[in-house]
Structure 1
Amino acid sequence: MDFSKLKILYVYSSQGISARTHLVTTQGKSIAKTGATVEYYDIPGVGMWNYVSHIGKLRKFAKEGNYDLIHAQFGYSGFTASFAGIRPLIVSLMGSDYRLERMASRLTRLFARLFWDCTIVKSQKMFNNLKIKDAKIIPNGINFKRFKPIDREIARRQAGFSSSAHVLWVSDPQRKEKNFALARESFSFIETEDVELTIVNNVEIDKVPSYYYAADVLLLTSRWEGSPNVIKEAMACSLPIVSTDVGDVADITKEVDGCFIVESDPEEIANAIDTALLYGKRTNGRDKVKHMDVEFISERLLEVYKNVLKEHTKK
């Protein structure tokens, strides 16, 4: 298929969170390298009425754009695109769609069966939980070129780190599913001296790699995830990891020394942090996640696009 003539619309809801926009545009830019045209429609704000209010706007936007394919990112964006009547429609369900309320979960399965030409989930756990027949498991990719190695002393100066050991916690502490309270409580049990818990939130994208290379451990305390990019980014920077058993984290970090999967117990987390700090060196994580480079993920997505378009032309 000649992808240079393909025109794709990515529909998503940023909710004012820059990381969500970055996730979507990183994938879109990689797809665009094949010659395809990728454009974006953001449904800003939060709340159900916000999604409803964009049904007509999205329908008009898509009609005027004359797109060959619509790829909605996040479940509620998929609902909006469905009501807008735009096809063919692919929907990627993210970590925020993993633990939907019972009614929303039922709606997701119904829409996947009736309106979505293909559904993508991010991990085997999501597939098992959502129970959507024929869903494709394709995690989000990361831009490996952005996370190329940086000398640690240079990285520490760029991040403004002190001489202390630094444990990174990368997210917005206000997001309840990220469970920052657990991270904070865990630190009261750490035995290693001179350790700082460093929150990385709303940092410019190009500065984030310096934090990974400057830090000693990444800590993830989420209640649920799909396929958290923060883990893949830390792995690409060979940073030791302590994480709750969410999404595909256990699979990604499997057989990587210096990475520890823990229960949501503050004392167990503290012990794992102490052990990770004692490990005292970088991991071989970068080699383990090379297959998650966004360019490899794009190849898998393009195969999905090709198959969906092929089936759509038969109808």
Structure 2
Amino acid sequence: MRVLMICPELPSDNSPGSMAPGARQIRSIREAGLDVHVVDMRGIPKLKYLQVLPKIRGHLKRVDIIHAHFGYCGWLALLARRTPHRKVPIVMSFMGDDLLGTPYNAAGDLERWSLVAANWNKSIASRYDQVIVKSQEMADRLNPISCHVIPNGVDTTVFHPINFFEANHLLGRDPTKLKVLFPGNPANPRKGYALAASAVELASQKLNRGIELVLLWGVQPDQVALYMNACNAMLMTSLIEGSPNVVKEALACDQCIVAVPVGDAHQLIQGVSGCHCTQRDPQQIALALSEILSSTSRSSGRSAIEAKGLTLSQVAQQVINVYQEALNIEQYDRNKVIPVRPAQPSHHSKVASTNSRQVPS
């Protein structure tokens, strides 16, 4: 099967961006045996979308299916298909704020343009052959249009438990200090930095200890797992998410997490030892943080990720099943759908180097 991926700009050394999980998912589809071609949004801002249109059209005669990631990439796929070329089926993956909108302040008020775009995406969703969303909240937003809820998978060979002291040493950080990870740009209102900072301050007062709020922002993709293992806990305080990749990645590292109800964060950590579901209340978050920071235990997140079918290879198979459905809808020859190779076991599927975090005295 030949697949054309249309997506936002993929990560580079100079621009890590937020598409690292998407890049890994694309790689996992390729590793499953499919012939994958990629057109990502590189070029002059605002003009780049028109610049890539000829590239997309150039691929139409050579691919069996299009997979668009994020709303505006779907627009380009639909536009490119309006040519005399044969009608290639489109699988549309909505990522989060392309259906839910983008907050512009800490109160969660949504940008007007993001609301227009989200409503437009919902109105044209039926034009796609198959639709994938990242959470049940997004599926509810699309109702009554049917869709598949498939979160991004986690590369468990990259995200796995690392000894606390080793991770701190490799990052040049002090292992004797309590550290809480904040994933995201603190200047972005949707990430809820003010709530996280307030909760950390309250937890510091409860413990009578200094706590450093470590920013996971502008970090090279190959350093992210080190940051997750070098901290004592992670917060998820965003206002809007689809299925936050960083939560799944932290779980794969057996990191302890405190999360507010956003996207599928609560569903991901529900019942996982060492993780806490709270409301969007700094006192509740601080209480949960205090409990975590007073313990040396890691979470049971990695086993939860595997049990929920959220490894890269498991999710790749789910996505390929959607491709097959789209091809059947278009009455494509099923013989063109190649069998999927069995998933290779993770090199770190039985990590047992450490079962505890260090709580500095």
Q: Which residue of 1 aligns with 2:340?
A: none
Distance change in 2, residues 1:125/1:96 (3 Å): same
Q: Is the 8 A contact 2:16 2:220 kept in 1?
A: no
Matches within 5 A, 1:39-50: 39-44=37-42, 49-50=46-47
1:106 Cα shift? 3.1
Q: Is the 8 A contact 2:99 2:119 kept in 1?
A: no
Q: Is the 8 A contact 1:9 1:41 kept in 2?
A: yes
1:303 Cα shift? 0.7
1:246 Cα shift? 0.6
Identify unmatched segments of 5+ residues in structure 1: 1-5
Q: Pick from 60, 70, 73: which aligns with 1:74? A: 70
1:46 Cα shift? 9.6
Structure 1 residue identity aligned to 2:167: A
Please list the CA deviations of residues 163-208 of structure 1 after superposition, one character each: whole Å capped at 9, or x if unmatched: 1011001222233211222222333322220211000112222222
Q: Please give the TM-score of this superposition, normalised by the length of structure 2.
A: 0.79
Q: Which residue of 1 aligns with 2:89?
A: 88
Distance (Å, rounded) in 1 between the aligned partners of 2:260 and 2:169: 30
Q: Which residue of 1 aligns with 2:129?
A: 117
Q: Is the 8 A contact 1:55 1:81 kept in 2?
A: no
Q: Which residue of 2 aligns with 1:220?
A: 236
Structure 2 residue identity aligned to 1:144: T
Q: Is the 8 A contact 2:99 2:122 kept in 1?
A: no
Distance (Å, rounded) in 2 between the aligned partners of 1:8 and 1:294: 18
Query: Does residue 1:312 correspond to 2:330, yes or no?
Result: yes
Structure 2 residue identity aligned to 1:20: S
1:149 Cα shift? 2.7
Distance (Å, rounded) in 2 between the aligned partners of 1:34 and 1:95: 26
Distance change in 2, residues 1:125/1:197 (3 Å): same
Distance (Å, rounded) in 2 between the aligned partners of 1:46 and 1:177: 26
1:52 Cα shift? 5.5
Distance change in 2, residues 1:157/1:267 (3 Å): same
Identify unmatched segments of 5+ residues in structure 2: 82-86, 102-113, 334-361
Q: Which moved more, 1:271-280 or 1:100-109?
A: 100-109
Distance (Å, rounded) in 2 between the aligned partners of 1:249 and 1:164: 27
SS in 1 for 2:141: helix
Q: Which moved more, 1:78-87 or 1:300-309?
A: 78-87
Matches within 5 A, 1:19-168: 19-44=17-42, 49-50=46-47, 53-54=50-51, 56-63=53-60, 66-85=62-81, 87-100=88-101, 101-113=114-126, 115-162=127-174, 163-168=176-181
1:74 Cα shift? 0.7
1:9 Cα shift? 1.1
Root-mean-square deviation (Å): 2.3
Q: Which residue of 2 aligns with 1:301?
A: 319
1:45 Cα shift? 7.2
1:60 Cα shift? 3.1
Please list the CA deviations of residues 8-49 of structure 1 after superposition, one character each: whole Å capped at 9, or x if unmatched: 1111123986343312221111111122111211124798x5
Q: Is the 8 A contact 2:53 2:76 kept in 1?
A: no
Q: Is the 8 A contact 1:12 1:41 kept in 2?
A: yes
Identity %: 29
Q: Which residue of 2 aligns with 1:3?
A: none
Distance (Å, rounded) in 2 between the aligned partners of 1:279 and 1:223: 28
**Which structure has the higher relative contact order (CA within 8 Å, separation 6+)?**
2
Q: Which moved more, 1:51-60 or 1:283-292?
A: 51-60
1:135 Cα shift? 0.6
Structure 2 residue identity aligned to 1:303: N
Aligned residue pairs total 307
Q: Which moved more, 1:182-191 or 1:247-256?
A: 182-191
Please list the CA deviations of residues 91-124 of structure 1 after superposition, one character each: whole Å capped at 9, or x if unmatched: 10112224234433332222211x2001101111
